[in-house]
Amino acid sequence: MSKIKNYFPAIDGLRLMASVNIVFLHLASSSAFDYAAKWTWLKPIVSGPAFSAGLFFVLAGFLFASKFSDPERQIPVLPFMFSRISKLYRLHFICTILMFSAIAVKLGGLDKMEHPIRSLFLHLSLLWSLVPDLGMKLNEPSWALTGFFICYAITPYTCKKLFQIKSVKLLWTLFILIFIPGIIQGIIFGAHDFLGQEDYESRFRFFHMFPVIHICEYIFGMIIYRLYQERQFSFLEKNYIAGICQFLLFVALYFVCYVSQNYVSNPTLYFITRHSPTILISGLFIMSLIPGKGFLARFFCIPIIRTIGRASFYPYLLHLPFITIGWGICNMNSPRATLGLLLILYTLSPLYLAFKTKRRKRKLAKMEAAT
């Protein structure tokens, strides 16, 4: 097996695109994007969304597989878990407390706080995505952390097993089979009469947030890294081929999002279309970007886009509290408010990441000086 790189600059830009897409999704759901209702061509991208939270799971699986690509490397589970939790949980904690405080001020009175207090416990314990109807949306994007932390727990073992696989045919078989649990989940989602769950919105929220499908997305990211490592996508190293593939995949993604809007009346087809083809296309889209060839890869490699993209998970966790606070201050349904929100989110996040990076480097320097 030839030695390949394990750093992919264009991925940072893709993170930014996914993050912005999810921010617009929640702007639309909170009526802060109603002014764009006449732009009907934009609806499939925003309400889909084209680049969903599932893309973050695929990206994470791909990138962690690249970092742990030495099959002989021993990866301690607990240190790895705690390093990831310390990176993400603190911000989740702050956002949740911020939203809880805003609700407490709005309701005014302990006699009305039973539901918010229960919701606070569910969010802070990362259990809300398992029982969403028992709690309110203190910080909705935090549901992803439950799935992510489970994925981090299985990363060392899964990496070890995947890197033991030498058969390319078996890897391609896993590439296909990994979508079966999501399809089964979609079928179960559609069987609401059997499950006794008539509330469509509650049912969709539960199945959309349920960790199983996102663990599969994470493992899918690991599998495509192994296929990349086995040089199965080497044809994308040609500039014009990568560019053509990126364009076609982008069009395909828009088409799938557009088609999924027509299946709203069919729960099974809607759920499967929303979650399976988009993830497949997203995985292939990642593969088209990693050689750094093609017009989109070059765009994503622009330094300022990469800098913001590396911090893009922070806006993902922060944007709903900011939208809620924004509605309390002004009318958020305007282009000016949207621009202001984006500037705040995507300015503060890279500055915070730069601060954390600088602090970590100082700490390492002190430790080296002490030894």
> What confidence tens digit (pLDDT) does each residue in 50-107 have?
677 888 899 999 988 888 876 555 567 677 777 777 777 888 888 888 888 878 877 7
DSSP assignment letter at 4: -
**Cα(208)–Cα(214) distance, integer angstroms:** 9
> What confidence tens digit (pLDDT) does each residue in 214-238 have?
999 999 999 999 999 999 998 988 8
pTM of the entire predicted model? 0.86
Q: Sign of the CA dihedral 254, 206, 215, 168?
A: negative
226 to 4, 235, 347: CA distances (angstroms): 11, 16, 35
Structure tokens of 126? 């990362």
Q: What is the distance between the terminal CA atoms of the chain, rounded to a whole angstrom?
A: 39
Q: At 334, is the pLDDT very low, low, confident or very high (cuts 50, 70, 90)?
A: very high
Query: Across residues 238-267, what is the average pLDDT?
Result: 84
**Cα(83)–Cα(305) distance, integer angstroms:** 26
Q: At 6, is the pLDDT very low, low, confident or very high (cuts 50, 70, 90)?
A: low
**How high is the pLDDT of residue 1?**
41
